Amino acid sequence: MSNKLHTIALFGGTFDPVHFGHLRMALELRQALDFDEMRLVPSHQPRHRQTPGVSAGQRRQMLALALEGCDELQLDERELERPGPTYTVDTLEELRAELGDQVSISFCMGLDSLLTLPSWHRWEQLLELAHLVVVTRPGWQLPAGGEIAAVLKRHRGTIGDLHTESRGRLVVREQTLLPISATHIRHLIGSGRSPRYLLPAAVLNYIDDNQLYRETAESGDPSDE
C-alpha cells in the first residue's frame, strides 16, 4: 500500500485502578482498527481530586503490572511527568512535536467524553492535531443537533482514513463494553468485599499489599445494588 502511515492510538484515563474494562477496550480497538501502537496514558490528577491514599506513582505502577508481558499495549507516562493540569491538547501537541507530521495519531474516547468535548481546553484544536475515535455502545444514538453534530458532519471518517491521513477525522466505532468501573471496584474494597475477576490478579495483589482503597471518600456507588 503506497500511502500507509504509522498509526498510534492513545487511550487516556485516571486508571484508579486499571481494570479489565479498560484493557479489553484498548486491545479490541487496537485489533479492530489495526493500529501499530496503542498507548495507555494515565492522567495527572490535581492533589484535591486524587483518591485519598493513592498516588500517581501507584496508579502508574498498577498499569505497569497490568501490562506486563503484553506486547500489544504500552504505557505512556508523559501526563504524569508534566506538572500542572492534564490537557489532552497539550499531550497531542507534545506528541506531534516528537513524532512529526507523517504519523497518524488517534485519540480514543467514549461517547460520554465526546458529549463533553466543547468544555475541553482548546477543544477545536484537537482535530488539527489528531483523529478522534469515539466508542459507542451498540444501539446508542449520536447527537443529531448542536456543536457535536456539527463536528461529526464536518469530520466524520472511516477506519481507512486513520491509515492514510495523519489527523482531522472523527471515527465512530461500536463496541460492547464490559460492565466494570473503577468506582465500583473502589467501593467494593472500601466496604470490605473482593473485586477479584474484575481486574488483573497482579493489580489486585498490589492493592492488597499496599492496602489501597480501604478508605474512600465516596459514600455510595449507584452501580452497587
Residues in contact with ligand ATP by the rule CB under 6 A = 13-16, 21-22, 25, 109-110, 113, 177-178, 180-183
Q: Which CB, 99 or 188, lies closer to ligand ATP?
A: 188
Note the maximum CA span of the chain: 57
CB 159 → ligand ATP: shortest distance, Å?
A: 19
Q: Which CB, 16 or 76, lies closer to ligand ATP?
A: 16
Residue type, 213: Y
CB 43 → ligand ATP: shortest distance, Å?
A: 8
Q: Which CB, 151 or 180, lies closer to ligand ATP?
A: 180
CB 127 → ligand ATP: shortest distance, Å?
A: 17
Q: Which CB, 164 or 175, lies closer to ligand ATP?
A: 175
CB 107 → ligand ATP: shortest distance, Å?
A: 10
Q: Which three cell numbers stand for residue 131?
A: 483523529
CB 48 → ligand ATP: shortest distance, Å?
A: 15
Contacts 24+ apart (CB under 8 A), 44-49: 44/79, 44/80, 44/82, 44/83, 44/84, 44/85, 44/86, 45/14, 45/16, 45/86, 46/85
For residue 24, the Cα-to-chain-centroid distance in whole angstroms is 12
Burial of 115 (0-12, 13-18, 19+ CB in 10 A): middle
Q: Which CB, 5 or 27, lies closer to ligand ATP?
A: 27
- CB count within 10 Å of CB 57 equals 9
